[in-house]
């Protein structure tokens, strides 16, 4: 078993680290929101990857079907997507209000104006 068989987990790790880097390293609030969305997408991909069952059928009893897929991870991801969209909308609304009040959305300039 090689590490290339689970390429989806490597993609999840790369997305997670790039989203975390954008969230921490960037000073622009919009770029932080983009990093947060990339991080959320990587978590979604992780849950979908874990919930995947090869040759799994829908959880309906049928003759000749031995392997069933659990729909719970997919339902949780749908809920998480709705929460992620709401979080993004709230963050963008706050960024617009901050820009209207201070004239900038950069962290360093906001700290200088606040002091």
pLDDT tens-digit profile of 66-94?
A: 787 788 888 899 999 999 999 999 999 99
Rounded CA separation 16/27 (Å): 19
pLDDT tens track for 32-60:
999 999 999 999 999 888 877 777 777 77
Tell whether 76 is covered by a domain.
yes
Q: How many domains does the chain have?
A: 1
Structural domain span for residue 14: 3-52+70-114
Tell whether 88 is covered by a domain.
yes
Would you tell me how many other CB atoms lie within 10 Å of the CB of residue 100? Answer: 8
Measured at the alpha carbon of residue 49, what is the angle toward residues 46 and 54, in degrees to the nearest 5?
A: 170
SS3 55: coil
Q: Is 45 exposed, middle or buried (0-12, 13-18, 19+ CB in 10 A)?
A: middle
Tell whether 28 is covered by a domain.
yes
Tell whether 107 is covered by a domain.
yes
**What is the pLDDT averaged over residues 21-29?**
89
CATH code where residue 40 lies: 1.10.287.3510
- Helical axes 72-102 vs 107-114, angle rounded to 10°: 50
Tell whether 65 is covered by a domain.
no
């Amino acid at each position: 078993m090689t590490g290339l068989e689970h390429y989806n987990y490597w993609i999840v790790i790369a997305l997670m680290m790039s989203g975390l880097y954008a969230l921490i390293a960037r000073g622009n609030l919009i770029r932080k929101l983009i990093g947060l969305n990339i991080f959320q997408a990587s978590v979604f991909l992780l849950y979908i990857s874990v919930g995947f069952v090869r040759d799994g059928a829908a959880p309906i009893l049928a003759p000749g079907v031995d392997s069933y897929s659990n729909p719970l991870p997919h339902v949780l991801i749908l809920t998480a997507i709705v929460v992620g969209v709401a979080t993004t909308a709230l963050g963008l609304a706050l960024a617009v209000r901050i820009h209207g009040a201070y004239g900038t959305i950069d962290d360093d300039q906001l700290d200088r104006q606040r002091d």
